[in-house]
Structure 1
Amino acid sequence: MDMYDVIVVGAGIEGSSTAYHLAKHGRKTLLLEQFPLPHSRGSSHGQSRITRKAYGEMEHFTVMMKEAYNLWETLEKESGRTIFKKTGMLTMGSADDKFTMGTIRCLQRHAIPHTVLDYNQMKKTYPMVEFPRDFTFVVDKSGGILMADKALMSFHEMFRYYGGTIRDGEEVLEIVPGETVELRTATSRYRAGSVVLTVGAWATKVLPKLQVHLPIRVMRINVLYWKEKVRGRYSPDKFPVFLQENASNGYAVYGLPSEEYPGLVKICLHWGPEVDPDTRDKADDTWVLNTMKKYISKHFPDIEPEPVISETCMYTWSKDENFILDHHPAWRNIVIGAGFSGHGFKLAPVVGKVLAELALNKPPSYDMSPFKVQRFRHNAKL
């Protein structure tokens, strides 16, 4: 039976970052993944994600994002790949929109370069969109695109470079806690001093087997691509990434310029039907498509209001939208990373660093109180 310092279960972006940090610090590390790599069954596939520094509603993430940018740059240098493309991020809302006003205050407090625009200024800069005249618009100049596939590939590549081992196509069937933790797959048994569980949507299935029941749920997200009426109208040099928090019936909408597919713009609803991760394709997403068609028609006159490509990913949504980064309540050598709620990718380098620290029983680099399992003690069975 192979023995490791740490085994990380789940080779999505959070687990891969964790494994990378562990191997980089000389720990014998195994990264286990249930599906053959690369795959599109989880939450880390695809070519692009939005990133930004300002988190007006959750300012502890703004603090963490400062280091995340530095760590992404380090990974770029190590791998030789361009992972980040700066475009700026546009946010908009009415004068009483808490997200927009909170974003402006956060940008100001943390001295993050930004520009606040009124309607006329916005239209001069971004004539290809249409929003109410009484809206306030703000551009976080640090925002942009993370090349998701390249980021994941780079973590895997550098993990191996630092001596790590990846075993894909091996679903963990049993976790046996103890002074050392034993993992059983269909083909092998492994032991480790510590285990980190970064299993994405499958946290809803894995954690209950370890007597941890958290208020998290899995949603299927439609990743939609829309055709430009005029080719190049929404290219990255003309149009930024954007996020409108209260866009449609209280749901957020986000988008990226035409980057992945020539002539197609990625604009998606930040919500979706609740699903079982093993049967996600059965979900009825008609209401999502109808909502987004209306949104595109209303706000993006230079885009055809019918999606050309529809892909899917999953969010594992925690009740308060904060992550779960903590030791198991009973076994400190089992570490949980879960509930990334659709905004964990950009923070992955810091999440991986913190989970590695927890696995090694080192003092974490950040205040972990927002991420504790125990915050759910009133509505979670532990």
Structure 2
Amino acid sequence: MQKYGAKQISWEKFTKEQLMAKYPEFILNPGEVACCDNNGGVLCADKALRAVQEQFQRMGGVIQDAQKVKHIQPGQVVRVTTTSEIYEAKNIVITAGPWAQKVLSPLGLELPLKTLRINVCYWKEKNPGRHGLLQNFPAFLGVHLNGEEHEVYGLPCQEYPELVKICFHGGNEADPEERELQTKPPQIPDIQILCNFISKYLPGLHPKPAVIEQCMYTNTPDRNSILDYHPLYKNIVIGSGFSGHGFKLSPIVGKILSELSMGKEPVYDLTPFSIARFKTPSATL
């Protein structure tokens, strides 16, 4: 057992033999090692979001779903026009996900955001239940594998019975309206990377995905988020560019965005998340 960093995070280093003793479903190449974060875990996104929304409503909040934003008129009072209503507020927070660029461009703000369509893949055990492969399946992230650097991550069975979630942390640039666009797996390079990964490191799983779904990333060039005021309108706060790793940070991000919207001095240094860090022609007003 070792401790790492100022927070003294507990972690372990496993050789090939040690990893297979703990997680026999994994096979490493000679010389490869695995590190285990003993404090790691899995967030159930649907349950967590539902709990927050229910608490928000109990405190008097109102959620208006399924309303597409058509126009935002800046000013001392910001007017937001949707397909159903017109809302006015002294301060607003824009967290539009993959639609951020489409919402922000009419406000004169061009940011180097790239929307990616990600293939979310689920894999089935070759001999379900026979070896209990999925009973002790860990959350994992593989980076340097087989001499190449690919970010592959996996999660235990949760969404589909007897299927584990293993995905490539990256995708192909796409319009957010094309999220559900289906493409045959052989034509998608990242799925082939996953098939090769499964065959080499998790041979107890079928090397072809049983289910393929899609989600969207909104990436910045440095993979850091944007948490900042609009450069011209200080009553418009922007949260964007979470680059595929934003959900787990939602509590602290929500605190920061709320502080900005109320004009409070942020508790944290937000320089790494400022709009001003983008010095390219595509990030101008």
TM > 0.5 between the two? yes
- What's the CA shift string for 1:173-227, capped at 9, x where partnerless? 1101111111111232111010100000001211111111111101111111100
Query: What does residue 43 of structure 2 align with?
Result: 146
Query: What does residue 275 of structure 1 align with?
Result: 174
Query: What does residue 139 of structure 2 align with?
Result: 241
Query: What does residue 62 of structure 1 align with?
Result: none
Query: What does residue 340 of structure 1 align with?
Result: 242
Look up the equivalent residue of 1:148 and give its one-letter code: A
Q: Distance in 2 between matches of 1:250 and 1:121?
A: 23
Look up the equivalent residue of 2:142 and give its one-letter code: Q
In the alignment of these two chains, the number of paired residues is 277
Query: What does residue 274 of structure 2 align with?
Result: 372
The structure, 1 or 2, with the larger RCO (C-alpha pairs under 8 Å, 6+ apart) is 1
Is residue 2:197 matched to residue 1:299?
Answer: no
Give 1:255's match in structure 2, choosing from 116, 140, 154: 154
- What's the CA shift string for 1:288-317, capped at 9, x where partnerless? 222211111111011111111111110001
What stretches of structure 2 of length at least 5 have no aligned partner?
none
RMSD over aligned Cα, in angstroms? 1.8
Distance 1:162 1:127, change over 3 A: same
The answer to whether the 8 Å contact 2:116/2:173 transfers is yes
The answer to whether the 8 Å contact 2:137/2:156 transfers is yes
Query: What does residue 188 of structure 1 align with?
Result: 85
Structure 1 position 126, deviation (Å): 1.3
Tell me, what secondary structure is at the counterpart of 1:202?
A: helix
Q: Whose helix proportion is higher, 1 or 2?
A: 1
Distance 1:234 1:207, change over 3 A: farther
Query: What does residue 231 of structure 1 align with?
Result: 128
Tell me, what secondary structure is at the counterpart of 1:253?
A: strand
Tell me, what secondary structure is at the counterpart of 2:218?
A: strand
Is residue 2:13 matched to residue 1:116?
Answer: yes
Q: Give every structure 1 segment of 4 or more consecutive aligned residues whose post-TM-superposition deviation is greater than 6 Å.
A: none
Structure 1 position 247, deviation (Å): 4.3
Query: What does residue 66 of structure 1 align with?
Result: none
Q: Distance in 2 between matches of 1:168 and 1:308?
A: 32
Give 2:99's match in structure 1, choosing from 174, 192, 202: 202
Q: Distance in 1 between matches of 2:5 and 2:138?
A: 20
Q: Distance in 1 between matches of 2:121 and 2:182?
A: 16
What stretches of structure 1 of length at least 5 have no aligned partner?
1-103
Query: What does residue 163 of structure 2 align with?
Result: 264
- What's the CA shift string for 1:214-260, capped at 9, x where partnerless? 11101111111100124353446x22100012448533100012232
The answer to whether the 8 Å contact 2:69/2:103 transfers is no
The answer to whether the 8 Å contact 1:234/1:265 transfers is no
TM-score by length of 2: 0.92
Q: For 1:1-382, what aligned pairs fall within 5 Å after superposition?
A: 107-232=4-129, 233-235=132-134, 238-247=136-145, 250-282=149-181, 284=183, 286-379=188-281, 380-382=283-285
Q: Distance in 1 between matches of 2:81 and 2:41?
A: 41
Query: What does residue 54 of structure 1 align with?
Result: none
